[in-house]
Amino acid sequence: MAGKEVAVLLLLAVLGCGSGEKVLVWPADNSHWLNMEHILQELVARGHEVTVLLPSCFLIVNPTQPSPFQFEVIEVPITKKEMSDFMDKMFYFFFNEDRKIPIWKSTYKIAQMVLQMKNITKIICDGVVKNEALMERLRASAFNVLLADPLFPSGELVAEKLGIPFVYTFRFSMGNTVERICGTLPAPPSYVPTTLTSLTDRMTFWQRLKNILGYALHDFVFHYVLWTSWDQYYSEVLGRPTTLCETMGKAEIWLIRTYWDFEFPRPFLPNFEFVGGLHCQPAKPLPKEMEEFVQSSGEHGVIIFTLGSMVHSLSDEKSNVIAKALSQLPQKVLWRYKGKKPETLGSNTRIFDWIPQNDLLGHPLTKAFITHGGTNGLYEAIYHGIPMVGIPMFADQHDNLVHMVAKGAAVQVDFNTMKTQDLVDALNTVIYNSTYKENALKLSKIQHDQPVKPLDRAVFWIEFVMRHKGAKHLRPAAHHLTWYQYHSLDVLAFLFTCTATIVFILFKCCLCCCRRCGRIAKRKKE
């Protein structure tokens, strides 16, 4: 065969043409969907059929609009309005919190919010597993794999009930509990920091103590607050005694949305794949008007500013503090914001409803990115090598920015105590102190220099699971051990007992000998 033909055949094999397998999707809303969508589009491009299980209260997708995916709408008695109100409530809950509250308090508050979310999740889950007609339809479709975002449970339950393998894709769970406890991902607390502690991989004695307590607290909340009632629910639905964690632990592959440009080096398992930045692409040209505005900045360049898709408006006071800071800079600023126009808005700042964030971050005139620290935006900044000013608000955002600050590519500003000068200083630091730009470029090089692109790796593993009906050869035997077996506590206890027995016997023997010697010596003296 000629080289060319071989190449074409290889290409066909790689693209999986003609295989046309069926993928069922259990998505999570908002930014989580935006990331997953890239994987789904790639699956469709490779000839697979993608069906998304979409609750009728899902906000970011409208199933009636044309789409490359098919939708199975789960009718639930929650309206989109109720859902978005709940999201806003959750957002303001975190938004108005003092950032310096102790970890136990923040964990408790987050647990409260998740309990409410649990009720909603249960309603949605009921809408699938207790809807016989829908389940029958799904069974008849004979899906090859289910791709789930485990932000909230249920995806794995649907997969188990349908008897198909499933793959997870997400950034992390609170305290890494799902990965650690259910996925048996090793996390030595001496150098793998847990979430919400703002710790890095270099810890002092007291920080390591804090980290261990952080893990313990997360485990407690996981076992006794968040997931308790799910065990019973899962057992009922599957008709055999099981737990949520056992079911989650059956995930064939875990696609984690970070990479070693972002993560601190840590141990991981062969069924964990780090695919952060899979949505990043080279910048496309900007709309004409926007390009003109960017070009008008001249040598000073532009700053991109967004606090994410969930921040619709700020208080007047805050928006004026921010606008005033921006107005003092020589750069032009593009601010994505839907709230009221601040009075102190400078002539160098323009407000947009929406911005092509990736294209702007990839523009040669872009000097800095002001971000809330969501993973999607962070990765676009890493990809294009743009230094950041982080204003974290909630969820994983603090944690994300701790990584970026530790890697020297970002400066963090506290949203609640922020003054105009703080923001000006932070921006001047990342723009005029060249170490931030250099570090951002270093991360960018790590992101670009990979043997296989993250999106291709993600899709490869999903296709692998479809071809082989799972990836059981990657599954560690840790899943079959109890916690004391896992830590070898039973073996240690046995060894300790043996040692103690031997020491005791030796001690007794010595004592005996000594006494006998003593007696002989005494007799000799006499």
Ligand X SMILES: *[C@@H]1O[C@H](CO)[C@@H](O)[C@H](O)[C@H]1NC(C)=O
Phi, psi values for residue 6, rounded to 5°: -55, -45
Dist CA 130 CA 327 (whole Å): 56
Mask for 70-109, x = binds ligand X (CB under 6 A): ----------------------------------------
Amino acid making up residue 93: F
Chosen residue from 64, 65, 119, 204 binding ligand X by CB under 6 A: 119
Q: Please say whether the beta carbons of 323 and 296 come within 8 A.
A: no
Closest to 372 measured CA to CA, from 432, 423, 428, 412 = 412
Chosen residue from 79, 96, 433, 497 binding ligand X by CB under 6 A: 433
Interaxial angle between packed helices 228-238 and 103-129, expressed in degrees from 0 to 180 and rounded to the nearest 10: 20
Strands annotated E in 376-487: 388-390, 410-412
Tokens at 333, concatenated: 């600023």
To ligand X, the closest distance from the beta carbon of 455 in angstroms equals 33
Q: Name residues whose C-beta falls within 8 Å of residue 459's C-beta, 6 or more positions apart in sequence.
A: 39, 42, 43, 46
Span near ligand X by CB under 6 A; candidates 10-18, 39-47, 74-82, 113-121: 113-121
362 vs 385 by CB, closer to ligand X = 385
115 binding ligand X? (CB under 6 A):
yes
Span near ligand X by CB under 6 A; candidates 15-23, 111-119, 180-188, 490-498: 111-119
Q: Name residues whose C-beta falls within 8 Å of residue 378's C-beta, 6 or more positions apart in sequence.
A: 262, 371, 388, 400, 401, 404
435 binding ligand X? (CB under 6 A):
yes
228 binding ligand X? (CB under 6 A):
no
Closest to 184 measured CA to CA, from 245, 262, 256, 274 = 245
36 vs 430 by CB, closer to ligand X = 430
To ligand X, the closest distance from the beta carbon of 223 in angstroms equals 19
Q: How far is CA 206 from CA 203, 211, 526, in A?
A: 8, 9, 63
Chosen residue from 116, 416, 485, 488 binding ligand X by CB under 6 A: 116
To ligand X, the closest distance from the beta carbon of 435 in angstroms equals 5
120 vs 474 by CB, closer to ligand X = 120
Q: Please say whether the beta carbons of 170 and 150 come within 8 A.
A: yes
Span near ligand X by CB under 6 A; candidates 3-11, 63-71, 115-123, 247-255: 115-123
229 binding ligand X? (CB under 6 A):
no
User: Which residues, 332 to 361, sit near ligand X by CB under 6 A?
Assistant: none
To ligand X, the closest distance from the beta carbon of 412 in angstroms equals 12
To ligand X, the closest distance from the beta carbon of 324 in angstroms equals 24
How many residues form the binding site for ligand X (CB under 6 A)? 5
296 binding ligand X? (CB under 6 A):
no
79 vs 488 by CB, closer to ligand X = 79
SS3 content of the chain, % helix, strand, coil (to 5): 50, 10, 35
Dist CA 346 CA 343 (whole Å): 9
User: Which residues, 124 to 183, sit near ligand X by CB under 6 A?
Assistant: none
Residues that bind ligand X in the complex, under the rule CB under 6 A: 115-116, 119, 433, 435
